Amino acid sequence: MAINVILNLVAAAVLLGVLYILQRRNASFSVRVFTGMGLGVALGAVLQAIYGVTAPELATTNEYLDIVGSGYIKLLQMIIMPLIMVSIVSAILKLKGIDSLGKISALTIGTLMLTTLVAAVIGILMAKAFSLTAVGLTASAADVARGVYLEGKVGTAQAISLPNMLLSFLPANPFLDLTGARKTSTIAVVIFAVFIGVAATGIHDKKPELFSSFDHFVKVAHAIVMRIVTLVLRLTPYGVFALMAGMVSTSSPTDILHLIDFVLASYSALLLMFMVHLLIVTGAGLNPLRFVKKILPVLTFAFTSRSSAGSIPMSVATQTQRLGTSEGIANFAASIGATIGQNGCAGIYPAMLAIMIAPTVGIDPFTFNFIAPLLAIITIGSVGVAGVGGGATFAALIVLSSMNLPVALAGLLISIEPLIDMGRTALNVSGSITAGTLTSRVMGETDMAVFNSDADLSIDSDSSDKDNSKRA
């Protein structure tokens, strides 16, 4: 290993040590997350300044940093399916009836779909405001390669219809879906968990002893899974540090400046849509500033990890421990929101791309005949978008191919894709949390004492291990 790489890793280890010291000194979880993000940005910027984006030393350094960053995400992915399964079953056992489950589903999914439609409108408006167009953009070799790749995926996107998508939600093999093998596995596990919960409540009166045993088993399983969640989430500051360092060190300032209009338009749209989320929260009778303060750590992780699905455990913890949302609703909103109605990836992004690309084939994108079907396709197509990196590309393929627009031109944005995807993912997670918050308020299940408290996430201690938190 080259001496430069060793020095880079030593510097990274020192910064990770700083985060560990903060943990030992009982610094709040939020402080540690933002410190990790700041240290990651600083290290990434220094490494790029010293070596340059394409340096082999930088690539090798990032491979080792990726052990921490991607390793953390893999641990989160490890607990997603068990968390969804036991939490939703547990929540259904506590529900008053099947009517409550129907109302929760309708409110959550309806909010996600409606906000995606609003996000698409905002994306169109921002494309108009910034005069975005793909006419005249030059393509590098990487852009061309990406365009060819996208064209090869068009057949897959075109083969997907709404009936087929809805069928894919059904867990024909729930054990396969528990491995996360399919893009719709998250929803499939939710549906399977609902069936188990409903079936269990059905034997409550007929076989009370069996129900009592099953209820006890679910409580034990839930306690164990939540303990695992706690252990993994304690690693968040370290994961955020590594992910941010890798992203900053490999982002080309030249590429960003070349497409700065699209970057500015994208983040303007993302910020406007975030304001819509705050308006929804305000309309639900909650303090929007307090809401923002409480969800910032999970948005920071979503921003750095670019994984809506990977954010599910932290999203659930944030909703239940900081926003006062009931556990069942929090799990349902976080799980469904990672696949359905992603405001950033499935709303804003494909809308802006369609507006940009349409002029290249002589179409005026600002006509009713173009915008009306575009909004309809985006809203319907937002169902089943994978909550991992690449979900936005898949959504864009569905929209562009349905509108008969050249999908290869989307490859022109390859150089700035990671930068924009960070903001899109954060908005996706914000949207799912907003849906859960609204649903919980409408259902009358929000604990306002928790929402109004200043308590941080209980990541470093819990009722069973409070005295040993410093050693964890």
pLDDT given at position 469: 37
Mean pLDDT of the 423-445 span? 94
Name the architecture of domain 3-458. Answer: Orthogonal Bundle (1.10)
Alpha-carbon distances of 55 from 50, 256, 257, rounded to whole Å: 9, 19, 21
Cβ pair 435, 333 in contact under 8 A: yes
pLDDT at 426 over 60: yes
Please measure the distance between the N-terminal and C-terminal CA atoms of the chain and give it in whole angstroms.
32
- The 3-state secondary structure of 427-450 reads HHHHHHHHHHHHHHHHCCCCCHHH
In sequence order, the β-bridge partners of residue 340 are 383
The residue to which tokens 């303990």 are assigned: 227
Cβ pair 187, 336 in contact under 8 A: yes
Burial of 393 (0-12, 13-18, 19+ CB in 10 A): buried
Confidence of residue 90 (pLDDT cuts 50, 70, 90): confident
pLDDT above 90 coverage of the chain, percent? 35
Each domain of the chain, given as residue ranges in start order, spans 3-458
pLDDT in tens, 189-230: 888 988 998 888 888 878 889 989 998 999 899 889 888 888
Confidence of residue 268 (pLDDT cuts 50, 70, 90): very high
pLDDT given at position 269: 96
The predicted model scores a pTM of 0.78
Distance CA 364, CA 46 (A): 45
Tell me which residue of 296, 82, 277 sits closest to 179, measured CA to CA: 82
- The 3-state secondary structure of 131-167 reads CCCCCCCCCCHHHHHHHHHHHHHHHHHHCCCHHHHHH
Q: Helical H runs in 252-326?
A: 253-258, 260-283, 288-305, 312-321
pLDDT in tens, 121-140: 999 999 999 998 887 665 55
Instruction: Kindly write down the DSSP assignment for every residue of 70-104, as one continuous string.
Output: HHHHHHHHHHHHHHHHHHHHHHHHHSS-HHHHHHH
pLDDT at 472 over 50: no
Cβ pair 365, 358 in contact under 8 A: yes
